[in-house]
Amino acid sequence: MYRQFTKHDSLMHPFTPLVVKDVEKGKSIYMSGRRYTLGENSLPVSILAEGEELLAAPVRLVGTENGEEIVWQTDYETNESAAFVQKRTAERVQILGAMQSESFVVDTCIDVEYDGYTMVDVKLMPRGLTVAEALGVKEAKKRNYNVSRLWLEIPLKKEFATLYHMFPQTSFYLEDGTATEETPTSGGGLTPQQNAALPFKALLWLGNEDAGFGYFAETDRNWEIEDENRAIEIVQTESATVLRIHLLDRQPEAWKPWEGDVDDGRVSYPPITFRFGFQATPVKPFPKKPYLHNGFHLDCYVKTPGEYHKFLSGPVKEDADEIGYDRLKRLGVTTLIIHEKWNKSQNWFELSEETAANLKNIVEECHARGIKVLTYFGYELASISPVWAEYEEYVLAKRENGRNLGGWYRVPFQRDYLLCYNNVMQDKFVEGIRYIMDTYHTDGIYLDGTSRPFICYNEKHGCGWRDAKGVLHGTYPIGAVRNLFKGLYEVVEARGGMINVHCAACNNFTALSFIHLNWYGENLQRDYLQGKMGKMPVDYFRAEYTGRNIGTPVELIAYENRPVWTFESAVACSIIHGILPRPNDIGHPLELMSSIWKIFESFPIEQASWHPYWNNGDTVQLSDDRALASYYKYTDPTGREKLLFFISNTTADEIENIEIQLPAQFSKATLLPEKTESVLSGGRLSAALGAFGYGIYYVE
């Protein structure tokens, strides 16, 4: 994890400078949309997000020393707080703290950045001698240095721990002795209501649909765990949901007694360091209009023949002479995202002559029609790349056995292996994107999987670590990925561009401050396409797909296998969660989305309030619980309320008739885009919904 003040530390839009204020025995740090208050030991005593307190009680370090509960002392004899500001800029503040018990000292170092990303170092060591004791003026107290438990406990208010997201994904091990099933959606959803345990997680977020608390750690280095499936616990108490991190379940391996130790470990036991972090969400202000563009993704899943410019320069429908570029313009596309095939050497930034010429043509044709262009980049180094022989050994992510990760096969014939960005590729990527945007006048980047901190064992660039027995363990390079995104955001944001990220089943909140849009959902596609999804996983969607609780807008990845799974089904999943699917087929899906874009553009969403199904039960009642409804509400200057209303069937069953009860003042509903009008009696509307069907209404 990066702790140094890097060259990517400049304050960027839409963030505000950090402000630090003294409070009683602590410090309050103000940032965009949040406030962290650190107590006298520098651990959080309060975390505000969106004006709401997330903590039910202060964060605490609990443990057992010499068979007794640890009691921490945090003030000096002068009764001054042990926490103090070490460094302070508009972008970052560093606060140091200390506490001691009967036998041990803990020093802390807390780095808080302007988007709320907070790195924590906790260092545990035996107490030493005072000057008087060392000089023999005062008799040194005989102490034992046995610690059999050291846990970090984060008590969250129950209402801010109803949903979860984890990476990597595993089962929960529940108090009743069972384990939850692993499925494509088990990485997020409803938090277990009974006590539950997990193995080590690089990323773990607990929250609700509006805000939450994210915990992260690159490694479990120095953790001493009795049961690897209980490294982390979620403990349900009457007043809180406690996130418990097992740092030590036993005396550290490095503190085993040795012959000749005259002071029972006071000098010979070295400090034990634990590194982890947290970040409250949303990580930045959520845009009033989250539908940032009308995006079309070319050649993702539905493949196009040949080179993209050639394809778009000719007719793209068998029954029409209209060329592709004109079709995009006519159907309302404002952003074209071109997939991996645009670049002959995957994810490399120095373009071949042919690639450069084709990109220049695509950008010119699109810009002439008012369409922006995002180019595909990912997380790989291609065997066809000119730097493969020079870089391969040092920059690729490696398995425990030293073998490469990945190996995607594509044309021109090549294999593409996973990169780790904890090395020189971090800067090369940033400079490469700067060069491409400035040279070819592109409008940003689409990043495939880049935000995912793939586990890496490559010691040659600093990943991996070895335990006391010499066993190699992996690193999740969270800090390197975040630093990469800060650099990319600095380049792209300064040029008015967009960073659009796709990452399956990993909402890396530590990097999402520095993107504009998240394209999410590929992990669902196999079950959707094979017809295995009989019910929409709405709890999972609320945890990971609304965007509002993290701070970045979301679009849904949607593949088709008609009639088993259709783009209309993807619309049904999306609209009630405040997002839209992105078309990646220039045929029917683009035509369908064109009509939906027009609906959204005709309603003043930026001036409207969002009322999703999970909190609008006082205004909307449905006669069938298989359906859910959400809406935007706009009040015009005369005081009249108008709704853009969505209803979706969450199941593969047809609903022949459903009664929708709206407030009585609404007298007319227009089904869109058909523009079929219904007169409402007392706010009552009837509808029919097919399997995973939906309806969009303008209600007034």
pLDDT for residue 8: 66
Q: Token pair 């009552």 is at which residue?
A: 684
CB neighbours of 484 closer than 8 A, spacing ≥ 6? Answer: 421, 426, 429, 430, 450, 511
Give residue 417's pLDDT band: very low, low, confident or very high (50, 70, 90). Answer: very high
Return the SS3 of 326: helix
H helical segments located in 2-160: 131-134
Give the mean pLDDT of 194-221: 98
How many Å apart are CA 690 and CA 695, to the nearest integer?
10
Give residue 573's pLDDT band: very low, low, confident or very high (50, 70, 90). Answer: very high
CB neighbours of 73 closer than 8 A, spacing ≥ 6? Answer: 99, 100, 101
Give the mean pLDDT of 17-36: 95
Give the mean pLDDT of 556-581: 96
Give the mean pLDDT of 163-175: 98
- For 610-699, CATH number? 2.60.40.1180
How many Å apart are CA 167 and CA 453, to the nearest integer?
9
User: Which of 147-161, 244-258, 524-538 has the highest average model confidence (pLDDT)?
Assistant: 147-161
Q: Token pair 């295995």 is at which residue?
A: 532
Using DSSP bridges, classify how beta strands 627-635 and 655-661 pair: parallel, antiparallel or unpaired.
Answer: unpaired
Q: What is the dihedral of CA 126, 132, 135, 140, to 10 degrees?
A: -50
- The tens digit of pLDDT for each residue in 438-453 reads 999 999 999 999 999 9
Give the mean pLDDT of 664-684: 96
Pick the CATH number of 19-281 from 2.70.98, 1.10.3300, 2.60.40, 1.20.1510: 2.70.98
Query: How high is the mean pLDDT of the chain?
Result: 95
Give residue 256's pLDDT band: very low, low, confident or very high (50, 70, 90). Answer: confident
H helical segments located in 129-279: 131-134
Going across the sheet that includes 118-126, the strands are 84-88, 92-100, 104-113, 118-126, 272-281, 212-216, 203-207, 163-167, 188-190
Q: Is the pLDDT of residue 134 over 90?
A: no
pLDDT for residue 224: 96
Q: Are 76 and 67 in contact (CB under 8 A)?
A: no
pLDDT for residue 683: 97
Q: Are 387 and 423 in contact (CB under 8 A)?
A: no
Establish whether the linkage from the previous residue to 44 is cis, with ω within 30° of 0: no
Q: What is the dihedral of CA 495, 500, 506, 508, to 10 degrees?
A: 20
Q: How far is CA 700 from CA 623, 627, 686, 695, in A?
A: 21, 22, 16, 16
Give the mean pLDDT of 342-358: 96
107-143: buried (b, 16+ CB within 10 Å) or exposed (e) per residue? bbbbbbbbbbbbbbbbbbbbeeeeeeeeeeeeeeeeb
Q: Is the pLDDT of residue 319 over 70?
A: yes
Give residue 2's pLDDT band: very low, low, confident or very high (50, 70, 90). Answer: very low
Q: Are 319 and 369 in contact (CB under 8 A)?
A: no
Give residue 77's pLDDT band: very low, low, confident or very high (50, 70, 90). Answer: low
Return the SS3 of 304: coil
pLDDT for residue 79: 55
Q: E strand or H helix at 672, and its extent? A: strand 668-672
Q: How far is CA 351 from CA 356, 377, 444, in A?
A: 6, 12, 16
pLDDT for residue 80: 64
Q: Is the pLDDT of residue 5 over 60?
A: no
pLDDT for residue 350: 94
Q: Is the pLDDT of residue 307 over 60?
A: yes
Give the mean pLDDT of 282-286: 97
Residue % of the chain over a pLDDT of 90: 91
Give residue limits of the domains in the chain: 19-281, 610-699
Q: How far is CA 35 from CA 11, 54, 113, 404, 550, in A?
A: 17, 11, 12, 42, 16
pLDDT for residue 1: 40
How many Å apart are CA 335 and CA 461, to the nearest integer?
37
| DSSP 8-state class, residue 229 | G
Give the mean pLDDT of 3-13: 66
How many Å apart are CA 568 and CA 570, to the nearest integer?
5
Give residue 81's pLDDT band: very low, low, confident or very high (50, 70, 90). Answer: low
Residue of 74 and 586 predicted with greater confidence: 586
- The tens digit of pLDDT for each residue in 591-623 reads 999 999 999 999 999 999 999 999 999 999 999
Give residue 468's pLDDT band: very low, low, confident or very high (50, 70, 90). Answer: confident
| DSSP 8-state class, residue 355 | H
User: Which of 41-45, 57-61, 252-256 has the highest average model confidence (pLDDT)?
Assistant: 57-61
Q: Is the pLDDT of residue 220 over 80?
A: yes
Give the mean pLDDT of 412-421: 96
Establish whether the linkage from the previous residue to 589 is cis, with ω within 30° of 0: no
Angle between helices 567-575 and 588-601 (to 10 degrees): 30
pLDDT for residue 118: 98
Give residue 3's pLDDT band: very low, low, confident or very high (50, 70, 90). Answer: very low
